[in-house]
């Protein structure tokens, strides 16, 4: 890859790249109103299907599930409905069923589509970030099913939405993300340090702000909250636990055992 290839396309330059934004609140305020487009081809398929007189929830479900951004949009809309009733979305199938065909048709009409331009680094990184989140969500769900957990679908949705800050930043602030990438790869800076230096906060804090702004399910918020996320010290202990390190005391093992049983931990750890 040449130096020119590594540079974000200047046509993808956003207002954020010329603005003095710093801190989670400022970035959330900037990113929250800006839509996350889905693949145009998938969106067109969904619109055609919901407009068909033969469409059913069963026929639209595979189309929605094939696109993580559509899944996010559906989960957001369904969670708003459930929050008004004091309940929560438990998974993508639950979200689709909660909305029904009419609301799904309205949502499809409102969504924006994006045709991938291979020469635009911002587009490539946007879809790459989405693919990473989808992969992590799949791993999370498989792990939970293997452990016979009863909330595998809820965990899948939480793990998928965990990286929304990365999605939005790569699309709407590509030069900031490129700067972070260079500081990590070229200068050897820790990712969190590079994020704070460039953004004034971590991408996790931005994702948390977006989760609140978009009214995502409580498990997503718990997984993103620094108060419930494992610290570096805790992660080191988890690594020791995996290696059966005899240096861990009984109390440490008890605390770690309790931590890994928490829903928010299981939904956030695969993407970390």
Can you give the residue ranges of every domain in the chain? Answer: 3-36+114-271, 38-111
pLDDT at 173: 95
Q: Give the model's pLDDT for residue 169.
A: 97
Q: How far apart are CA 54 and CA 88, in angstroms?
A: 30
Res 149 pLDDT > 90: no
Crossing angle of helices 174-185/191-199, nearest 10°?
140
pLDDT at 265: 55
* Segment 118-141 mean pLDDT: 93
CA distances to 156, 164, 219, 256 from 150, in Å: 12, 25, 14, 21
Residue 177 has pLDDT above 80, yes or no: yes
Quick: pLDDT tens for 183-226: 999 999 999 999 999 999 999 999 999 999 999 999 899 888 87
Looking at residue 148, its pLDDT comes to 83
The two tokens of residue 18 are 């010329």
Mean pLDDT is lowest, of 105-114, 146-155, 168-177, 258-267, for 258-267
pLDDT at 26: 96
6-42 pLDDT, tens digit per residue, is: 444 544 455 555 457 899 999 999 999 999 999 999 9
Lowest mean pLDDT among 213-217, 257-261, 266-270: 266-270
Residues 6+ apart with CB under 8 A from 156: 91, 92, 137, 138, 140, 141, 144
For residue 106, give every residue at least 6 positions away whose Cβ sits within 8 Å of its Cβ, in sequence order, or none: none
Region of poorest pLDDT, from 11-25, 134-148, 159-173, 242-256 = 11-25
User: Quick one: pLDDT at residue 16?
Assistant: 59
Give the tens place of pLDDT for each residue, 244-257: 778 878 887 787 77
């Amino acid at each position: 890859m040449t130096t020119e290839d590594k540079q974000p396309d200047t046509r993808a330059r956003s207002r954020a790249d010329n603005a003095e934004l710093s801190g989670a609140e400022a970035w959330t305020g900037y990113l929250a109103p800006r839509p996350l487009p889905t693949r145009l081809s998938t969106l067109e398929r969904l619109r055609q299907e919901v407009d068909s007189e033969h469409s059913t929830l069963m026929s639209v479900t595979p189309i929605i599930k094939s696109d993580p951004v559509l899944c996010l949009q559906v989960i957001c809309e369904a969670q708003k409905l459930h929050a008004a009733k004091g309940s929560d979305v438990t998974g993508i199938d639950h979200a689709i069923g909660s909305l029904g065909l009419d609301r799904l048709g309205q949502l499809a009409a409102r969504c924006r589509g994006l045709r991938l331009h291979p020469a635009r680094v911002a587009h490539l990184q946007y879809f790459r970030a989405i693919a990473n989140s989808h992969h992590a969500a799949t791993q999370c769900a498989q792990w939970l099913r293997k452990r016979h957990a009863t909330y595998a679908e809820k965990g899948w949705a939480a793990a998928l939405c965990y990286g929304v800050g990365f999605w939005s930043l790569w699309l709407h602030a590509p030069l900031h993300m490129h700067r972070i990438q260079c500081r990590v790869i070229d200068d050897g800076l820790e990712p969190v340090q590079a994020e704070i230096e460039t953004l004034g906060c971590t991408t996790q804090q931005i994702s948390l702000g977006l989760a609140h702004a978009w009214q995502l399910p409580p498990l997503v918020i718990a997984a993103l909250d620094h108060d419930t996320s494992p610290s570096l010290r805790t992660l080191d202990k988890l690594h020791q636990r995996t290696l059966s390190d005899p240096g861990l005391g009984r109390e440490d093992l008890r605390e770690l055992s309790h931590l890994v049983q928490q829903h928010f931990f299981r939904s956030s750890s695969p993407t970390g």
